[in-house]
Amino acid sequence: MLKKRIIPCLDIKDGRTVKGINFVDIQDAGDPIELAKRYVKEGADELVFLDITATVENRKTLVDLVQEIAQEINIPFTVGGGINTLSDVENIIKAGADKVSVNSSAVKNPELISEIANQYGSQCVVVAIDTKFVDGEWMVFVHGGRTRTPLKTIEWAKKVTELGAGEILLTSMNNDGTKAGFAMDITNEVSQAINIPVIASGGAGSKAHFSDLFTHTEASAGLAASIFHYSEIPITELKYYLQNNNIPVRITENKKSNIMNIDFKKGDSLVPVIVQNNNTLQVLMLGYMNEKALKKTKAEQKVTFYSRSKNRLWTKGEESGNFLLVKSIELDCDNDTLLIKVDPVGPTCHKGTTTCFADETSRGFIYELEQTISQRIDDNDESSYTNQLYRRGINKVAQKVGEEAVELVIEAKDNDANLFKSEAADLMYHYLILLKAKGYTLEDIETILKDRAKK
């Protein structure tokens, strides 16, 4: 079976990576070169670069930036935005791209697809289709989702396949940025209607969404942006998750950073493992692993040590349920120590504290609540109000925070202390969900407040 691909997407505006919801509410997401380098390290199968305003602004793609990124990566690189002629394609290919993506220009001039295919081969042509469900039909949109066309999505997919497209990048505008999951119906319909690969885009918010995509549709690849940009789901972690769910993916680790290169010296020897909270970066505990413990940790995504007192492998939390859920595993420069970043379930220490290096919970309950909120969202718990609100998108979350703030102000004018404290708790709770939706943590806010306190 062909391996499924995981593809991060760099939506570029004014030379910066950006991300929006439903093609609007654009926000900065970081430096594209640094993100590209990180994705190679994490094991991305390909990288897509889309200059999202090139067509609207009637200009060419940012060729210089394409060239800078191409020099830093060694995975297939697709570039789109503002490509209207064979000359544009030539410039992009010379800059280092392996494929070009055409969207609005293909709708305007379908023969461009055939021209590119004839000149560079079908494998070079990716036709991007931005689709939206309106009036009971999935319709094609152009100009960055601003303009509706009379084209029906499935018919257009068949047409571009006949013209020589080698792949289709299908983005559901209804799902884009919502983190509510891929548009399974149209993705599967398009995949079954044509005989070329389909990259599904729009709506990824959890590891389970990728698993559902590959299980219930014939899509060849899943593309996402913000969940990768903001490190909500590291690509390496996602691939191990899919592999553990019997979905074929390519696991490629750079030899220099391959954690299985750690120097165990002998099969039963132990190496120290530092465990750190993935969000707060607080050091939680120190343990030891042998080679079998590391393999079990990678396979199950729960930290497993070798217990010298028990003389066996020991999964942290196997008795208490306070597991350490693996987010990433890193190897130090000497290949003899591991750093594992985790999302802890409950207190880490057997004394009931957050960390084994303090007698009391050092960060307080509010940080534990942040972890609980993050876990319910990451696990996509459908019964959880937290998860349900989060999946409705950032606009709904922000609206809810505004409502709670107004209610708190109203209660501040009354004399009922219990109601005031209750409304304050509601506001704080929803504020933490908003932080998660924006990709920030309490640690980020704390840093700003500390800086201000110095002034």
Catalytic residues: 11, 130
110's CB contacts (< 8 A; 6+ apart) are 159, 160, 163
Sign (positive/negative) of CA torsion 270, 271, 275, 278? negative
3-state secondary structure 8-31: EEEEEECCEEEEEECCEEEEEEEC
The pairing of strands 24-30 and 16-21 is antiparallel
How far is residue 236's CA from residue 6's CA, in Å, rounded to a whole number? Answer: 10
Residues 439/230, Cβ–Cβ less than 8 Å: yes
Length of the chain: 455
- CB neighbourhood size of 373 (10 A): 20
Q: Which helix (H) or strand (E) holds 105?
A: helix 104-108
Q: Which amino acid is at 102?
A: V
How far is residue 97's CA from residue 119's CA, in Å, rounded to a whole number? Answer: 15
Bridge partners, residue 16, by sequence: 13
Q: Strand, coil or helix: what is 206?
A: coil
